[in-house]
Amino acid sequence: MPYSRTLETLALRDGRWWVDTGAFGEADVARVPPFEEVEIPVGRLFLPRSATPVTPGEEG
């Protein structure tokens, strides 16, 4: 299972096995095959952190 607010990348090898090709944290900029020319600011993939913690089951 990936860590919170982390982008993990995998690649298919030999048409049979998925191998880990990288892990990027919230502050990282990822360049991931086959899109190496595109910079992905990982932190923008996630919703902003809430200023007030929300307890599951409570409505905000």
pLDDT of 2-58, one tens digit each?
568 999 999 999 999 999 999 999 999 999 988 899 999 999 999 888 766 667 776
Question: What pLDDT does 54 receive?
Answer: 64
Quick one: the chain helix, strand, coil %, rounded to 5? 5, 30, 60
Instruction: Give the residue extent of every domain in the chain.
Output: 7-45
Whole-angstrom distance, CA of residue 39 vs CA of residue 47? 19
Question: What pLDDT does 60 receive?
Answer: 53
- Sole residue written with tokens 């880990």: 20
φ and ψ at 11, to 5 degrees? Answer: -135, 145
Whole-angstrom distance, CA of residue 36 vs CA of residue 15? 21
